[in-house]
Amino acid sequence: MQAKLFASLKHKGTIGRLREIAINNLIEPYLPPSVTIVTGTIVSPDKPREYQMQDDVVLFSKEKAPPFVSMLEQYVIPLSGVIAHIEVKSTLTYTDVKKAVLNAIELRDLAEGIAPIGIIFAYTSNLKNYTEVDRLLKTLKEVNFTGVKGQASCPIQMICVADRGTWILLNLPEYGIKSGWYFVQAIKEQHLLAFISIISNHTYMSHGSKGAGEYLLEPSWLTGPSPEYPVLIQ
């Protein structure tokens, strides 16, 4: 429904901001009090970024670094405080996936320590005959992705398409979930609850606690792994 409403709007800036606000409202109640949602540009003190001029939705820990306020609710965001970054699209295309991958790789290479997780959220997708993971892994080959020891094996760890489902890179041996890509179907909002759960768990884990996913996410929703895939580069 929201994708159709956005399609009726003409101004790209308005559409983009509404997309971001919708995602903010979806996940904000499930974040720790010290984590805020901002939009703007992630910056590193080491060197300027090449692949991204604006970051749609950024989960930022106020305990790790202060965000620098700019004009019109846009922030200059220190990379040291970034926990996750979410690319938000109305219709996901190959070009969007490639840009998201290059952006996430660049942030990984600029980060000191563990890089923030990369996520894509779209209201619909132009992909019909393959899964979003197929396209993502094909993109990694095309950009000659090289893993870094101790970092995530894929620069994007979750893709949620509102009218298709959610794909998540997981490894939860305590629940019998081995390493790989899992799919949650778009049934009774389970895929959106999975999307919220992973984000909440990750942000709370970074603060030494448990997130809403401990209560919301049902392992029975997960189909996979398809394909089996390592979560971390050893």
Is the pLDDT reported for residue 233 higher than 80?
yes
Is the pLDDT reported for residue 142 higher than 70?
yes
**pLDDT at residue 20, rounded to an integer:** 74
Q: Which position has the higher pLDDT, 21 or 60?
A: 60
Confidence band of 196 (pLDDT split at 50, 70, 90): very high
Q: 88, 161, 86: which is closest to 128 by C-alpha?
A: 161
Q: Are 137 and 174 contacting, i.e. CB atoms less than 8 angstroms apart?
A: no
Q: Which position has the higher pLDDT, 140 or 51?
A: 140
Host H or E run for residue 107: helix 94-110
| 110-114, 152-156, 211-215: range with highest mean pLDDT | 152-156
Alpha carbon 39 to chain centroid, angstroms:
14
Measured between alpha carbons, how far is 102 from 86 in angstroms, rounded to an integer?
A: 13
81-107 residue pLDDT tens: 999 999 999 999 999 999 999 999 999
**pLDDT at residue 187, rounded to an integer:** 95
Query: Would you say the C-alpha torsion 220, 221, 226, 227 has a positive or negative sign?
Result: negative
> How far apart, in Å, are the Cα atoms of 63 and each of 36, 37, 82, 84, 119?
10, 14, 11, 15, 22
The mean predicted confidence, pLDDT, of the chain is 88
Q: 196, 229, 19, 208: which is closest to 218 by C-alpha?
A: 196
SS3 state at 172: strand
154-163 residue pLDDT tens: 999 999 999 9
**pLDDT at residue 5, rounded to an integer:** 37
Burial of 168-187, coded b for 16+ CB within 10 Å and e otherwise, reads bbbeeeeeebebbbbbbeee
φ, ψ at 33 (rounded to 5°): -60, -30
Question: Any residues with CB less than 8 A from the CB of 17 and at least 6 apart, and which?
Answer: none
**pLDDT at residue 52, rounded to an integer:** 65
Is the pLDDT reported for residue 178 higher than 90?
yes
Confidence band of 14 (pLDDT split at 50, 70, 90): very low
Confidence band of 73 (pLDDT split at 50, 70, 90): low
Where does the chain show beta strands of DSSP type E?
35-43, 55-61, 68-69, 74-78, 82-92, 117-125, 158-161, 165-172, 177-185
**pLDDT at residue 1, rounded to an integer:** 43
Is the pLDDT reported for residue 3 higher than 70?
no
Q: 51, 159, 158: which is closest to 110 by C-alpha?
A: 51
Mean of the pLDDT values across residues 26-45?
Answer: 91
Number of H helices, E strands in the chain: 6, 9
Please state the pTM of the whole predicted model. Answer: 0.90
Confidence band of 174 (pLDDT split at 50, 70, 90): confident
